[in-house]
Amino acid sequence: MILEGMVLTIEVALLSLLIAVILGLFGAIAKLSKSRIARGIATVYTTLIRGIPDLVLMTIIFYGGQIQVNNLGDLLGWDYIDISPFIAGTLTIGFIFGAYMTETFRGGILAVSKGEIEAAHAFGMKRWQVFMRITLPLMIRHALPGFGNNWMVLAKTTALVSVIGLHDMLYNAGVAGGATRQPFTFYLVVALMYLCITGISDIGLRWVNRRFSVGVRTV
């Protein structure tokens, strides 16, 4: 039962990571763009998200979003839409960590040396091509440590989805612990599972980091 929950936890984590990376990329581009509106929106986004606790954001989106969507639905004549905890949880976590990713990616892009981007422009690449072929691959190396940290925090944040009623590891452990009157044992198992997830990602991230830093000479 806890293993089932773990599968769900990992699903939530990976899906929200995907959302976070996409949002983070757009956010970073917006923050570095020349357009003042794009910069403003991105700044408001990152400041708001990083200033409000994730649990509060999750309840705003889960409870509040439900009502807003259905208000909108009434106007447009849709049927009643039920936002499942899974969707709300994944979207919120992705939305929150998109803000953190924005900062990480922004730092990574700024760390790419100007000469390489200028060279790409000199080759006659379009701006989109420069970004896809030069900036993005080079930025990954600089952004990886921050990305790794964000992923670790994200994996741990998934525990919050149990609060909005999703049957993840923690929720199932609570049920099992209540039924057997051994809550400590079950919560400890969950804690160890999380340690496994973070431990394995730590090893994985180190490996990826080595791969991406092949060309870098260190002491």
Partner 1 sequence: MDYNVIVDNLPLYLEGLWVTIQLVVIALVSGFGLAVPLALMAVSKISFISYPAKAYIYFFRGTPLLVQMFLLYYGMGQFEAIRESVFWMLFKEAYWCSIIAFALNTAGYTAEILRGSIEQTPFGETEASYACGMSKFTMYRRIILPGSFRRALPAYGNEVIFMLHGSALAGVITIVDLFGAAKIVNSRYFVPFESFITAGFFYLCCTFCIVWFFKWVEKHWYKHLRPRTS
Residues interacting with partner 1, by CB under 8 A? 48, 50-57, 59-60, 63-64, 66-68, 156-160, 162-163, 170, 174, 177, 181-185, 187-188, 190-191, 194-195, 198-199
CB of 199 to partner 1, least distance (A): 7
Amino acid 159 reads A
Q: Which is nearer to partner 1, 17 or 190 (CB)?
A: 190
Q: Which is nearer to partner 1, 59 or 209 (CB)?
A: 59
Opening angle at CA 138, ends 136 and 142, nearest 5: 105
Q: Which is nearer to partner 1, 64 or 73 (CB)?
A: 64
Question: 5: which 2 tokens?
Answer: 């929950």
For helices 136-157 and 85-111, give the axis angle rounded to 10 degrees: 140
Other beta carbons within 10 angstroms of residue 118's beta carbon come to 11
CB of 6 to partner 1, least distance (A): 13
CB of 51 to partner 1, least distance (A): 4
Amino acid 136 reads L
Q: Which is nearer to partner 1, 145 or 174 (CB)?
A: 174
Helix (H, G, I), strand (E, B) or coil at 83: coil
Residues 6+ apart with CB under 8 A from 157: 54, 93, 96, 97
Other beta carbons within 10 angstroms of residue 151's beta carbon come to 23
Q: Which is nearer to partner 1, 32 or 175 (CB)?
A: 175
Q: Which is nearer to partner 1, 96 or 109 (CB)?
A: 96
CB of 68 to partner 1, least distance (A): 7
Q: Is the dihedral of CA 133, 136, 141, 147 positive or negative?
A: negative
Q: What is the C-alpha end-to-end distance of the chain, expressed in Å?
A: 48
CB of 74 to partner 1, least distance (A): 15
Question: 62: which 2 tokens?
Answer: 């889960």
CB of 206 to partner 1, least distance (A): 15
